[in-house]
Structure 1
């Protein structure tokens, strides 16, 4: 059986230049060849999977790089304007992809949604400067997540029953988040509660500046609350009074609905 017409140098150059950026079907049409002939030639000259030559990444590959489920990426697409596009790589195969530039622009405005401590540095190519700051913030955010010990539970009971400590103080003493303290009190059926902080605590201009700066950099409410000596709930309330609202845990400023 014959091998078909020979490939010219011009045809091979055309194939190499457009592989991954133009669909195989389009390349085949331009070269007046079948899609199978194009795929076979690409394989023989070592071009590999067309999706790896695209200047971006598929939604599935991104989920692996970010250590999140594909359903998480889907929710970003559905609820948070994730800039995915449909790209035709093969004859009938349409795949969700995002360019690296579009991903980083979106990620900067939605940094609270990504835990960069789980993302291998440079796995998505060159990183903007803010990423390393966010990665550090995420490492700080990961407080004690190990199972509670009897000693910790007894310390929690003692501090709560003494009626001398607030949620932030107990959380700091046990190295856990305020949310973790609240959940454990409920799980242990402890009726006593920490002292309430005043809802009318005034914030200095420096504290407000710190809150906004740290939140813009991606620090969690718990970490920010420690830095300014307030409760996480109080910090969130302050942000809301400043015009921010929260959707699925992500802060947006009401003036432009843009995520921090």
Structure 2
């Protein structure tokens, strides 16, 4: 005969609050339960899938949807202020989650970083109205692509000939921001 301990209401609330920010083993220790018992309870509460529980997507999933490298998404988080949340799933594996609404707000301000023509319709609902227009524009984005020696020479030639950043951007297929930064490094 097995003995089942009931969870107090405050224990259930603690599980909801701590799930994702602490490992299951840490939560189980605080509740004086086994990890297996806690996993069963989380499943019964409908919280076993962190993504569906949080309503967010991982950085890797966002990268797959946008058809870009995951490291590009991580650089947006680290260097370009894309909001994200670290969550622990199951035992100790950490994931970077992004709220879809936060992504769209960020993407609106950073349209030049994303080639929306590669984004399938309604793959990140709810899509803002401006995405339909952006989807029709074919952009050549080269986020975080290493510069070759030939590109550096071509950049310096264009700059010395007095071409504008817009013209250089079209020639090299790079953003004006990346060209400005590269010029600063090359000239100084």
TM-score (norm. length: structure 1): 0.46
What secondary structure, in the 3-state scheme, does the structure 1 residue paired with 2:137 have? Answer: helix
How many residues were matched structurally?
A: 156
What secondary structure, in the 3-state scheme, does the structure 2 residue paired with 1:120 have? Answer: coil
Unaligned runs of 5+ in 1: 143-198, 201-232, 240-244, 251-260
Unaligned runs of 5+ in 2: 141-160, 170-174, 181-188
| In structure 1, C-alpha distance between the alignment counterparts of 2:88 and 2:71, rounded to whole Å | 21
Q: Which has the larger radius of gyration?
A: 1
CA drift of 1:33 comes to 3.3
Map 1:164-175 → 2, pairs under 5 A: none
2:178 is the counterpart of 1:248: yes
- Relative distance call for 1:94 and 1:15 in structure 2 (3 A) is same
| In structure 2, C-alpha distance between the alignment counterparts of 1:65 and 1:75, rounded to whole Å | 17
| In structure 1, C-alpha distance between the alignment counterparts of 2:108 and 2:21, rounded to whole Å | 28
| In structure 1, C-alpha distance between the alignment counterparts of 2:130 and 2:116, rounded to whole Å | 11
Instruction: Tell me the equivalent position of 1:65.
Output: 65
Query: 1:146-202: per-residue Cα shift (whole Å, max 9, x none)?
Result: xxxxxxxxxxxxxxxxxxxxxxxxxxxxxxxxxxxxxxxxxxxxxxxxxxxxx99xx
The answer (yes or no) to whether the contact 2:21–2:86 under 8 Å persists in 1 is no
| In structure 2, C-alpha distance between the alignment counterparts of 1:122 and 1:3, rounded to whole Å | 49
Instruction: Tell me the equivalent position of 1:102.
Output: 102
What secondary structure, in the 3-state scheme, does the structure 2 residue paired with 1:102 have? Answer: helix
| In structure 2, C-alpha distance between the alignment counterparts of 1:83 and 1:89, rounded to whole Å | 19
CA drift of 1:89 comes to 3.3
What RMSD in Å do the two structures reach over aligned CA positions? 4.1
TM-score (norm. length: structure 2): 0.59
Query: 1:116-168: per-residue Cα shift (whole Å, max 9, x none)?
Result: 22222222220122211111223xx58xxxxxxxxxxxxxxxxxxxxxxxxxx
